[in-house]
Amino acid sequence: MFGNIAVQVIGYYTIAFICIPLGYGHLRLQSWSRKVALTLLWDWMIFGLPLSIIFFLMLLTSKALHPSALPFLLIGFFLVYPIMPVLLTRLYRHRNIRSTFQNGMIGMDWTDSFSESTLILISLVLMIIVALHVPLFFNGIFPLFSTFAFGLQGYQILDLSILILAFLLWGLVKRKSGPGGGHCYISF
């Protein structure tokens, strides 16, 4: 139970950490907020299906649902996962929205030094680093070559994985793909 509550707290802090600055950027029409929103929409498209399935299965196992509620849940799933991020991505890429966010911009912002694909990759690695903290609350469980590592061995492998990903993230940020930097050859 402690692990479940701790994961929920991490989720709340993550939502606040993302949504408060993003909301401020949208109110002030900052160009970085449009780019960050597009990055998060791509994250939603990538992680949305597995997370939606996990949340759906958690809902089925934790609540006694009437069979007539199943069609509404499926309709909600198809509206929330595949349709919503695609429509919002198209909206943010529309030239009127792009020009609206760029009108109030003076000079370059911090997202201009990164390409869109690099921003997506940075955010994905950052989310994986945060997700790797979750098994620490469950006795350090880590899948390891057709078995599981638990306890001290699991904690050590998780720590090493987090450190390696943090080092790769640092290298990716220092690379500064885009204008004046290297190029990331991942296309979205």
Q: What is the per-residue pLDDT across 36-92, written as a single tens digit (0 to 9) for each? A: 999 999 998 998 888 888 777 777 777 787 888 888 887 887 777 788 889 999 999
User: Residue 188: which pLDDT band, with cuts at 50, 70 and 90?
Assistant: very low
What are 148-174's pLDDT values in tens digits? Answer: 999 999 999 999 999 999 999 999 888
Among the ranges given (30-34, 151-155, 165-169, 175-179), the one the predictor scored with the smallest mean pLDDT:
175-179
**CA–CA dist 83, 86 (Å, integer):** 5
Helix (H) or strand (E) holding 128: helix 116-131
3 state SS for 40-97? HHHHHHHHHHHHHHHHHHHHHHHCCCCHHHHHHHHHHHHHHHHHHHHHHHHHHHCHHH
- pLDDT given at position 104: 62
Helix (H) or strand (E) holding 144: strand 142-144
pTM: 0.78
- pLDDT given at position 70: 80
- C-beta separation of 14 from 130 below 8 A: yes
- pLDDT given at position 184: 47
Instruction: Kindly tell me the sign of the dihedral angle through the C-alpha atoms of 124, 125, 130, 131.
Output: positive
For residue 177, pLDDT over 60 is answered with no
For residue 115, pLDDT over 60 is answered with yes
